[in-house]
């Protein structure tokens, strides 16, 4: 009888420890989920705040922020140019396949027959020799590493966080 009682106590103790470990892991997983969601919410609010600053509070005398604003101006201009080209393609216009615009201001005349220019060779369209603007090399040295895919969010979370204030 003592042997069965000891065996029962050992099994109950192990089950109790397992239950506590599962409870602790479940709480930790809930907290990790809350932290991930709130980090995403904070990121979206920072984006909204940055958009608001860019659109309404931009200070051209602040060297720290103005460099970023000027870079954003260039990015937005390139996006607008790409959208205009996309509209031309959708309308049936013949747009250069090389994807380059002439840096001297001339319209592209290659009709998609020329290949994209080699690095540093200048304009591909009219042979004017205008140098292309330099681009910054992007490295992955400072990219964070995650244990799980941070882009995997529930559809409900995406729907909840899809609307950002201050967009304009």
| 71-114 pLDDT tens trace | 999 999 999 999 988 888 888 776 665 555 545 555 555 544 44
Nearby residues of 116 by Cβ (< 8 Å), 6 or more positions away: 98, 99, 100, 124
33 and 84 share one domain:
no
Give the residue numbers spanning the domain of 46: 1-57
Q: Which of 57, 87, 104 is the last residue of a domain?
A: 57
158 in any annotated domain:
no
In this structure, are 28 and 65 located in the same domain? no
37 touches 29 (CB < 8 A):
no
Number of structural domains (the chain) is: 3
| pLDDT at residue 11, as a whole number | 92
166 in any annotated domain: no
- pTM score: 0.45
């Amino acid at each position: 009888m003592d042997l069965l009682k000891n065996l029962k106590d050992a099994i109950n103790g192990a089950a109790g420890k397992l239950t506590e470990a599962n409870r602790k892991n479940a709480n930790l997983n809930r907290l990790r989920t809350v932290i991930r969601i709130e980090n995403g919410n904070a990121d979206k609010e920072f984006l909204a705040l940055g958009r608001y600053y860019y659109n309404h509070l931009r200070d051209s005398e602040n060297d720290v922020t103005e460099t970023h604003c000027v870079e954003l101006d260039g990015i937005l201009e390139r996006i607008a140019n790409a959208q205009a080209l996309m509209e031309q393609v959708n309308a049936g216009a013949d747009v250069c396949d090389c994807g380059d615009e002439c840096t001297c201001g001339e319209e592209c005349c290659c009709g998609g027959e020329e290949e994209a220019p080699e690095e540093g060779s200048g304009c591909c369209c009219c042979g004017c020799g205008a140098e292309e603007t330099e681009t910054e090399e992007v490295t992955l040295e400072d990219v964070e590493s995650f244990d799980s895919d941070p882009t995997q969010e529930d559809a409900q979370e995406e729907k909840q966080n899809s609307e950002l204030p201050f967009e304009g």
